[in-house]
Structure 1
Amino acid sequence: MAERVALVTGAASGIGAAVVAELARRGWRVAGLDLRHSTDVEHGVSVDVADPTQVNAAIARIERELGQVEAAVCAAGHYAITPVADIPWTEWRRMLRVHLGGLLNVCRAVAPAMAERGRGAIVGVSSELAIGGGDGEAHYAAAKGAVIGLVRALAVELAPLGVRVNAVAPGPTDTPLLPPESPWRRPAYLQTLPAGRMSRPEEIALAAAYLVDEGTFCVGEIISPNAGAVI
């Protein structure tokens, strides 16, 4: 187990950083991709996950230096609240390029070798908003919904080859992605949740790590730790 290599995108903060820590605790050697450099990752590479050329080069370098990637968790992303009529087309496209394109770029880079070896695990990070929707979050919810569609399609395609593809769809999580003034942090909203609070990134990391390590019969599953926001 100590020699198994995992790749995490969005590794410098939030859910991605928590996944890095959890997989490292479990004995994985972890490589992280992020626009920002992270000192908490054994092998960090500065990459725009929306750029397939950068992703391919980074993963080739990681496999030369650490070994073959056997698990990938795609947590890179960004978030914004904007009424649908006010969303610039550039931001519509960027949401899709980062969330959907980032997942696709990683999958295209790692899945062929995983399939050749007959084993591997890929975990996308979607959102509870892809399931329940959200006011002023059409571009984010659409991109995260597309992640679910891609995960389920790839799960069907790759499961016969020994590669498991699944996703986590967190509810509001206490990370820097949600600014202090976010409506998801307001006490009035939190009181509507059965759990009464936001998730912690470490809790989402446990769900992702389960799909990597223990969830060997999970194929195309969407685990949504959302504090009861969507049941």
Structure 2
Amino acid sequence: MSDRPVALVTGGASGIGAAVVDALTARGFAVGCLDLRGSAPAAEHTVAVDVSDAAAVADGVAEVRDALGPIAAVVTSAGYYEMAPVSDIGVDAWRRMLRVHLGGLVNVARATLPDLTATRGALVAVASELAIGGGGDDVHYAAAKGAILGLVRSLAAEVAGDGVRVNCVAPGPTDTPLLAADSPWRATDYLSTLPLRRLTTPQEVARCVEYLVCDATFSVGDVVNVNSGAVI
């Protein structure tokens, strides 16, 4: 058991999730992770979990709780990205995208809400700028991330009276391994359309997550856009 407050991060092995692990550790949290690969070196305890599997999530949350203690903060950053025109998106691709992003958030929220209620904690979901602005060849990804916005706002209203704060960050294209070297989001033509003329960094997203977890005690059901000005 840790003598520090405990945070749970999904997808903490790389990218935004790994940056969140670092940021919350620096703020004094003992951080546990649920990650498909089962390896998040910066975390104190990691469990190999597919977040789309509700039973596995419940077991993983219980393991983190047993190892570190009651969970006071949750960040759901597990996910993946793929582009395809709507005509090429089959039923299985639709279902997988929704199971991982929307279903993963639901599974983690349901498994951790008893802890968050007891600790009067905070949950931050990672959505996407595409949930707000949309994008060609991003229909199933944008739909899944858009559903997260609705869930966050509704869940925030439901549990705020129990002392639980639920909020969201919506990053734009971020400089992580999720974006291939030849991704159109890395192209100079796209970057030149952004006010900051560059990708967002994982550390910038993590700083916003840290703020929502630790400092924004007044923030409930909010969406913080971290996207180099892609959505203003």
- State TM-score, norm by structure 2: 0.97
- Structure 1 equivalent of residue 40 of structure 2: 38
Cα separation, 2, equivalents of 1:58 and 1:2: 20
> Structure 1 residue 88: deviation in Å?
1.4
Given that residues 121 and 164 in structure 2 are in contact (C-alpha distance below 8 angstroms), is that contact kept between their aligned partners in structure 1? yes
Letter aligned with residue 97 of structure 1: R
The answer to whether the Cα contact below 8 Å between 1:2 and 1:27 also exists between their aligned partners in 2 is no
Shift of residue 38 of structure 1?
2.1
For residues 73 and 133 of structure 1, the distance between their equivalents in structure 2, rounded to whole angstroms, comes to 23
Deviations 1:84-125 (A, max 9, x none): 01011111001100000111001000112322x260100000
Partner SS state of residue 224, structure 1: strand
Q: Distance in 2 between matches of 1:86 and 1:114?
A: 40
Match of 2:63 among 61, 84, 87: 61
Aligned residues: 230
Aligned to 1:24: 25
- State whether residues 30 and 41 of structure 1, in contact with CA within 8 Å, keep that contact through their aligned partners in structure 2: yes
**8 Å contact from structure 2 (residues 19, 203) kept in 1:** yes
Whether 1:150 aligns to 2:136 is: no
Helix, strand or coil at the partner of 2:31: strand
Q: CA RMSD in A?
A: 1.1
Letter in 1 for 2:194: L
Q: Which residue of 1 aligns with 2:15?
A: 14
Moved more, 77-86 or 32-41: 32-41
1:2, CA displacement in angstroms? 5.8
- The Cα offsets for residues 172-231 of structure 1, whole Å up to 9 and x where unpaired, read as 100011101110000111011001100000000000111000010100000011111110
| Equivalent of residue 112 in structure 1, options 101, 114, 121 | 114
What is the match of residue 54 of structure 2? 52
Q: 3-state DSSP class of the match of 2:190?
A: helix
The reply to whether residue 83 of structure 1 matches residue 85 of structure 2 is: yes
Percent identity between matched residues is: 57
- Maintained 8 Å contact 2:51/2:78: yes
Task: Normalising by structure 1, report the TM-score.
Answer: 0.98
Cα pair distance change 1:118/1:35, threshold 3 Å: closer
Shift in Å at residue 40 of structure 1? 2.3
Gaps of at least 5 residues in structure 1 are none
In the other structure, the counterpart of 1:98 is: 100
One-letter identity of the residue aligned with 2:120: R
